[in-house]
Amino acid sequence: MLQLTMDLKTSAQVLGVAPEAFMELVERERIQGIIKLKGDWRISIFTLAQMLNTTPDTLLELIEDQALGRLIEKVNGDEWFEGQEGQQVYASYLAEAQE
């Protein structure tokens, strides 16, 4: 299911501020769309989008793009195999797993 809230740290990163500074802003300006669940602050994506003067769809696309970029960076140095060579390497991994 699609999450419609984000944690405080991630929300602050999206805004480009420290979590403490973001929380001070929330308290000072009494910003709506922020809830505390089991000790964890959650911020509505609608509230974040409004703060950034954008739409929730655009905000989610940006966050997804950033997450995809981090995943790509993680595997940047991995070896790549194509075609027949890739099938052989995969078959060897399967054989190892079955031993």
State how far the Cα of 21 lies from the Cα of 3, in Å rounded to an integer: 24
Is this structure's pTM higher than 0.85?
A: no
**What are the extents of the domains in the chain?**
5-98
∠ CA 23-49-71, rounded to 5°: 90
pLDDT, one tens digit per residue, over 6-56 is: 899 989 988 899 999 999 999 999 999 999 988 899 999 999 999 999 999
